[in-house]
Amino acid sequence: MLSIGDLRERLSEIRLLGTKQNIVEAGFVQRIDWDGSRVEVDVVLPPVSAQARQVLEQDIRRTLGAFAEVRDVQVRIGGGDRVKGQGSEFILSGVRHVIAVASAKGGVGKSTVAANLALALSSEGLRVGLLDADVYGPSLPLLFGTRGPVTVTSTQRLAPVEKFGLQLMSVGFFVEEEAPVIWRGPVVMSLVRQFLRDVEWHDLDFLVVDLPPGTGDAPLSLLQLIPIAGALMVTTPQSVAVSDVERGIAMFQRVQAPVLGIVENMALYECPHCHTTEELFGSEGGQRLERQFGIPVIARIPLDPQLRAASDSGEPLPVQTPGHPLVTAFRTLAQRFLERLAASDVTGVPIPTIIN
Ligand SMILES: Nc1ncnc2c1ncn2[C@@H]1O[C@H](COP(=O)(O)OP(=O)(O)OP(=O)(O)O)[C@@H](O)[C@H]1O
Ligand SMILES: [Mg+2]
C-alpha cells in the first residue's frame, strides 16, 4: 500500500517554475494527507507568477494521479502573491512550454516546420498542441485536412480539435473556406486575445505556435500575450540575411524570449534520379549567423516535392510516409531544439529529454 513517504518522494521530482530546488526540498509542501484513495496536498509558495502556480498545480495532479491507487488529488496552494510573468499579459491554461515558430519573411515554410516539429515532439510521447496564430493566412486546416468543428466545453471554452495525436487550434476553424479574413488592426487583436483566452488546452507539454510572418505588429502583439519559452526562426538560404535575423532577435528580445535556433528550409536539393544532394545556395549564410549571433542552425531541411505534396493533401509527411528521411530530419530538429531549450532554462520547468 502506498505511503505518505511514497507520495512525498514523488513530489520531490517537481520543481516550481523559475526555481532550482524541488518543492519538498524547498519546504513548500506543508501537508500531505492520504486516506488510501484520496490525497490532499497543501503547498505554500513565495511570490510567483500565475503561470508558475498553475503549472505547479498541474504537475502535482499529474504526478500523484499516476499512482493507480490514487483516485482523487486535491491541491491547495497558499501564499504566492501573483506577479506578472515574463512580460506576458496572461497565461495559456493547460500549457507547460510555448514554442514560437517565426520567420522574417512569408512563404519560407514556417507552417510546414511548425507542423512537422509538433508531430516530431508528439512521436516522442510528449503531449503537444499546435496553434495556428496566423490570422490572415491560416494554413492548419489545409495541412491537417480538418476544419473542425470546434466543440464548446461545459465551461463554455473552446476544445482543440484532436488529429494525428495533436491538439489543434486555428482561426481557420472559424472562417469559411476561401473567405478573405478582413479583420484589421485593433479588431484582430481583441479577437485573437479572446480566442487565446478561450481555448482549453488539455495538459500539454508543448504548444507550438505558428506565428504570422514577419517581425511587425501582428507577430509582436501575439508574443506580448503569450509567455514564450523559446523561439525558432525559419529562413530559406536566399533570405538568410543578417538583417532578417537581427529583426527576429530584436522582436523576441522585446518579450524576453530567446531565439534558440535557426532552421534553413529548402536548403538542399536531392536529385530524384541519382540521389546526390546539392546545396543550391551554399552554406555560408548559416555559418555567418552562428558566428555573429551565437544562434545555431539546428536543421537544414531540403527542398522535397513529397513534403509539399503531403502538406497539400492534408496528411502530413510523418503520417503519410513514416519512413521518409525527412521525418527523421524533423525528429533530429526537435531533439536539438529541446536540448537548446533545456540549456536556456528561462522557464524553470524541467524540459523533457528525448532518449534515442
Ligand atoms: N522543404 C520543402 N520542400 C518542398 N516544399 C516545401 C518545403 N517547405 C515548405 N514547402 C512548401 O512551400 C509552401 C510554403 O510553405 P509554408 O506554407 O509552410 O510557408 P509559410 O512560411 O508558413 O508561409 P506563410 O508566410 O504564407 O504563412 C507550401 O506549399 C509548402 O508545402
Ligand atoms: Mg504559414
Nearest in space to 117 (alpha carbons), one of 137, 99, 140: 99
- Per cent of the chain over pLDDT 70 is 83
Distance 348 CA to ligand 1 centre (A): 33
Neighbours of ion ligand 2 (CB under 5 A): 110-111, 139
Distance 235 CA to ligand 1 centre (A): 11
What is the pLDDT, as a whole number, of residue 250? 85
DSSP string, 168-226: EEEGGGSS-TT------HHHHHHHHHHHHHHB---SEEEEEEEPPSSSSHHHHHHHHHS
Ligand closest to 237 (CA) is: 1
Listed in order, the ranges of the chain carrying CATH 3.30.300.130 are: 11-83
Ligand closest to 310 (CA) is: 1
Task: Write the residue with the smallest CA distance to atom 31 of ligand 1.
Answer: 308
Ligand 1 site, residue 115, Cβ cutoff 6 A: no
Distance 103 CA to ligand 2 centre (A): 9
What is the pLDDT, as a whole number, of residue 18? 62
pLDDT: which is higher, 99 or 91:
99
pLDDT: which is higher, 218 or 248:
248
pLDDT: which is higher, 45 or 48:
45
Confidence of residue 350 (pLDDT cuts 50, 70, 90): low
95-344 belongs to which CATH class? alpha beta
pLDDT: which is higher, 226 or 162:
162
269-323: pLDDT as tens digits: 777 777 777 776 666 677 777 888 888 999 999 999 999 999 999 999 999 999 9
pLDDT at 77 over 70: yes
> What number is the average pLDDT over the span 70-99?
71
Arithmetic mean of pLDDT over the chain: 83
pLDDT: which is higher, 336 or 179:
336
Confidence of residue 181 (pLDDT cuts 50, 70, 90): low
Which CATH number applies to 11-83?
3.30.300.130
Our CA dihedral for 313, 318, 324, 329, rounded to 10 degrees, sits at 120
Task: Write the residue with the smallest CA distance to atom 29 of ligand 1.
Answer: 308
Ligand 1, atom nearest to 265 Cα: 1
Ligand closest to 115 (CA) is: 1
Ligand 1 site, residue 85, Cβ cutoff 6 A: no
Ligand 1 site, residue 239, Cβ cutoff 6 A: no
Task: Write the residue with the smallest CA distance to atom 9 of ligand 1.
Answer: 109
Distance 25 CA to ligand 2 centre (A): 45
Best probe residue, ligand 1, of 103, 105, 111, 112 (max atoms within 8 Å of C-beta): 112
Listed in order, the ranges of the chain carrying CATH 3.40.50.300 are: 95-344
pLDDT at 225 over 50: yes
Task: Write the residue with the smallest CA distance to atom 2 of ligand 1.
Answer: 303
Best probe residue, ligand 1, of 301, 311, 320 (max atoms within 8 Å of C-beta): 311
Its pTM stands at 0.77
CA pair distance 296, 289, nearest whole angstrom: 8
Tell me the sheet residues that pair with 261. Answer: 232
What is the pLDDT, as a whole number, of residue 95? 85
Ligand 1 site, residue 307, Cβ cutoff 6 A: yes
pLDDT at 61 over 50: yes
Task: Write the residue with the smallest CA distance to atom 26 of ligand 1.
Answer: 107
158-167: pLDDT as tens digits: 999 999 999 9
Cell 498542441 belongs to which residue? 129
Confidence of residue 353 (pLDDT cuts 50, 70, 90): low
pLDDT at 89 over 70: no
Q: Poorest-confidence range of 63-67, 86-90, 107-111, 323-327?
A: 86-90
pLDDT at 331 over 90: yes
CA pair distance 330, 317, nearest whole angstrom: 10
> What number is the average pLDDT over the span 326-351?
81
CA pair distance 128, 101, nearest whole angstrom: 14
186-206: pLDDT as tens digits: 667 777 777 788 898 988 889
